Structure 1
Amino acid sequence: MKIKLGLLYGGKSAEHEVSLLTARAVSRAIDFNKYEVYPIFITKKGEWRKGNALIGAAESVEMLQFGEGVNKPNNITSFLPAETANAAIVEKKVDTNLDVIFPLLHGPNGEDGTVQGLLEVLNLPYVGNGVLASAAGMDKVVMKQLFAQAGLSQVPYVHFIRNEWKNNQAELLQRMEKSLKWPLFVKPANLGSSVGITKAGNRDELLKAIEFAFKYDRKIIVEQGIVAREIEMSVLGNDNPRCSVVGEVLPTKDFYDYDAKYKDGTTNYAIPAEVSDELYKKIEDAAIRAFKVLDCSGLVRADFFITEEEEVVINEVNTMPGFTPISMYPKLWIESGLSYSSLIEELIDLAIERFEEKQQLDHSKDGE
């Protein structure tokens, strides 16, 4: 009997398009002989739309967008718009008895623990990280504070919210210029895929970068630039995670921005990267420590800077890395001997394993 799998994608986020690319890539890699795949599309307005089972891989992102005001794709029929998120999930749970949900959402309202919380309340198994890991992994400031508790090396940074910037701009500028060295990288605290990130080499550029970042989030983080190799490692598992080979990002642009990741395809990668066995062990240890301090499950891509002295400096982790054809996470596992389709199957198995473990918990008073 086929496993009934719900693909959840789109989302009310600046990373909506990235999610669509990920969903298309996953649909191409899924074994339709093993899985019965149901699309659940969230529009940019936050409306939930669901369709009948896919009969094959989506050849374009347009084929995965449906509902009011959107062209109907050729391989999805009987669209049933849902008025609420609960209705979208619950009704399809009843109609098709979904075995597991695969959230392919990036950024706020999807990767940040909100959807994970909904699925937990509905008692539905789902792929990937839980509420805590998703929320902490989305907020770069909270993430860095937890990494510090785990003793992980990081670049110096300053963070603040919009109200603090409005009322204490001069003080914050003085703090940044005193404690950080140029160039600086200005980032929204709660976005991924390099959305809203700007490199600043002087005060004027810094001011413009901060205003730009505030378009995406109320909390900003300003990090000191570092001369180092950009190294990434994929982590897979629940209680006993394992790591892939390492990869190195070799951007041809000034830095690894959104276009380099998803549009122009000009970034080069070294997979596997040239690292010594000793350095690999240091990166692996840091990746697993980061995975465990956030209480992660399923999948994580851990990003590092490696200095000339081979100091391992953690940049961040991504709790829902992209599965696009040029994404690093699946590439690293393919190089490690795990195919794209097998990776998806293992993630689904890990989701079911975690769900079944939770069902063993006793929620009655005093074990009655």
Structure 2
Amino acid sequence: MQKLRVAVLMGGPSSEHDVSLETGKTVLRSLDADKYEAFPVVVPKERDSTIELQKDGTDVAFIAMHGEYGEDGTVQAALKELGVPYTGSGVLASALGMHKPLSSRLLRDCGLAVPDFMTVREREFKDAPEAVMAEAVRKLGLPLVVKPADRGSSVGITVAHDADQLALGIAEALRHSREAMVQCYVKGREVTCSVLEDETVPEGVRALPPTEIVPKERPFFDYHSKYTAGASEEITPPRLPTATIRAIQEVALRTHAIIGCSGMSRTDTILGADGRIYVLEINTIPGMTPTSLLPQAAEAAGIPFPELLDRIIFAALHRTGNVSQIKS
């Protein structure tokens, strides 16, 4: 039986290079060897790097990259140009999902609750930092969440309780991106919900059981909490009323559809003290490390990790009309 040739793309020039390598290694270890001939494609850290991939030797590319280049539409465009089917969302949805201010505006315009925010560009903060901070406090109040506009894994995110912390937070965010997002801090319970394409249901997609995230060592779910074993408690499904869980799943499904995602996604939300479900951001390439949230949610839904990978690959081939390549 001929196996499906799967190139697992990992690494890349983003600040999430090491996380991507872990994701890629996990995927390589977990793909069913009876079905797939999987091989790694490690993209270097250099920003002018190119993908060494031959169309004739690859049936599908499994994108295990995070952050800029891997999650922002760049590698998706390169693979599209090569004619290689790839996992996850297309070019536009990837770019939109990666840029938090743009996706937040779109979600807000479509009627979803999003914390109030403003954007700060590198040049305007350099030219008039005091004016920028005064405007942020006047418009949004304190405390504030500050994050790079287009980075993932909570890289460069801080919480500011006063002007000094706000200045440091904006500077830190701009160290990772040319634009910072300054957002109202919404007090509540952090809940994330993954969406997975599923051809067995009429809608074609299903929301997996949500997960409540309770950081143990930090005040919020930052990079350390995400990738350090034991640094956070993840409760799947959360201890919430059934109606609330369903509402969170509906928000995740709507977010997935509005952004135009394919294959899978994970939407991070806050269940506010006012009872509203606020969308923080969407992840078009959720992590696949041992501590990652999508695999945990799939497991809770009765989908073992190897089967989850099967479904993601099937969705990629289905989207490009290459389902006939699947070897059964």
1:30 counterpart residue number: 31
Q: What residue identity is the alignment partner of 2:215? A: P
Change (3 A) 1:209 1:123: same
Q: Contact conserved, 2:28 with 2:39, CA < 8 A, in 1?
A: no
Residue from 263, 288, 296 that aligns with 1:323: 288
Residue by residue over 1:282-303, the C-alpha shift from the partner in whole angstroms, topping out at 9 and shown as x without a partner, is 1122111111111110010011
User: Relative to structure 2, which stretch is displaced further, 182-191 or 10-19?
Assistant: 182-191
Residue from 235, 259, 265 that aligns with 1:300: 265
TM-score by length of 2: 0.93
SS at match of 2:120: strand
Residue from 195, 198, 204 that aligns with 1:240: 204
SS at match of 2:26: helix
Q: What residue identity is the alignment partner of 1:165? A: F
Distance (whole Å) between structure 2 residues aligned to residue 112 and residue 300 of structure 1: 14
2:320 counterpart residue number: 355
Give 5+ residue unaligned stretches, structure 1: 49-83, 359-368
Q: What residue identity is the alignment partner of 2:96? A: A
Q: What residue identity is the alignment partner of 2:6? A: L
Distance (whole Å) between structure 2 residues aligned to residue 213 and residue 160 of structure 1: 10
How do 1:187-202 and structure 2 match up within 5 A? 187-202=147-162
2:191 counterpart residue number: 231
Distance (whole Å) between structure 2 residues aligned to residue 326 and residue 224 of structure 1: 28
How do 1:121-270 and structure 2 match up within 5 A? 121-237=81-197, 240-252=204-216, 253-270=218-235
Matched residues, number: 317
SS at match of 1:214: helix
1:40 counterpart residue number: 41
In the TM superposition, residue 279 of structure 1 has moved relative to its aligned partner by 1.2
* Pair member with larger Rg: 1
Q: What residue identity is the alignment partner of 1:93? A: K
Q: What residue identity is the alignment partner of 2:71? A: E
1:93 counterpart residue number: 55
In the TM superposition, residue 47 of structure 1 has moved relative to its aligned partner by 7.0
1:342 counterpart residue number: 307
In the TM superposition, residue 316 of structure 1 has moved relative to its aligned partner by 0.8
Residue by residue over 1:150-200, the C-alpha shift from the partner in whole angstroms, topping out at 9 and shown as x without a partner, is 111011111121112223433321211112132211100111101111111
Residue from 231, 248, 253 that aligns with 1:283: 248
2:15 counterpart residue number: 14
Please report the RMSD computed on the Cα atoms of aligned residues, expressed in angstroms: 1.6
In the TM superposition, residue 43 of structure 1 has moved relative to its aligned partner by 1.4
Moved over 2 A (4+): 166-171
Q: What residue identity is the alignment partner of 1:244? A: L
Query: Using CA pairs below 8 Å that are at least 6 residues apart, which structure has the higher relative contact order?
Result: 2
Distance (whole Å) between structure 2 residues aligned to residue 204 and residue 278 of structure 1: 41
SS at match of 1:269: strand
How do 1:113-128 and structure 2 match up within 5 A? 113-128=73-88
Q: Contact conserved, 2:24 with 2:40, CA < 8 A, in 1?
A: no
